[in-house]
Amino acid sequence: MRFQTLYEGRHIFAVVLALGAVGWWLGWTWLMVIAALLVIFCINFFRDPEREIPAGDDVVVAAADGVVADIEELEESEVLKTKCRRVGIFLSVFDVHVNKAPIAGKITYQKHHPGLFLDARNPECSKKNEALTWAIEGAKATLVIRQITGAIARRIVPWSQVGDTVPKGFRFGMIRFGSRTEIYLPMTATVEVKVGDKVVGASSVIARL
């Protein structure tokens, strides 16, 4: 477990532990059991394991753990302003929620977008939900990454800023609870995953530039 990741859950852990303390004080076994299960869930949610990161400037790794929900060709109108291939990854509450840099490079863009909290599986969430957009300029291309909240995820936590130079697999932020992460690739990239694939952040190769 990493302190930085666990620290993001400090308020949640405090509430759950207080709930357990109340159960102990009142002698309510059922409440203590619920609190214990919630502690286990939170520890599992805020886990942040080390990963083996594939080398190569042409290799693009998954920016998040989860399932590939869609692969589409569409206009990326915020940063690149050109047609891209977008790989959308859905993160359930049981996935690691720390986001990793898909390539090594310099962070050249970061912008927060307020919005709704639709279910991250809803096709409209990409346009309507609260999100944080990033751009990383690498040796071969500039990639755009979007962290998108869901119905349960209500907070996006950035750990990096514009101007930072990050290695591939670097932990640049996290989303608390179920959510969605999108990676916008150049049209010349070869996508190496398909819809339904389970991917592991910083470890699974999703494309080659």
Of residues 19, 183, 165, 4, the one with CA closest to residue 89:
183
For the question of residue 203 being annotated catalytic, the response is no
Distance from C-alpha of 181 to C-alpha of 164, rounded to nearest angstrom = 20
Distance CA 148, CA 78 (A): 15
Residue with tokens 């962290």, as numbered in its chain: 147
- Distance CA(110)–CA(163), nearest Å, equals 10
Helix pair angle (29-45, 10-26), 10° resolution: 160
Q: Given the residues 126, 160, 179, 204, select the one marked as catalytic.
A: 179
- What is the radius of gyration, based on Cα positions, of the chain? 18
Q: Is 59 helix (H, G, I), strand (E, B) or coil?
A: strand
Strand partners, 67: 90, 198
Write out the catalytic residue numbers: 179
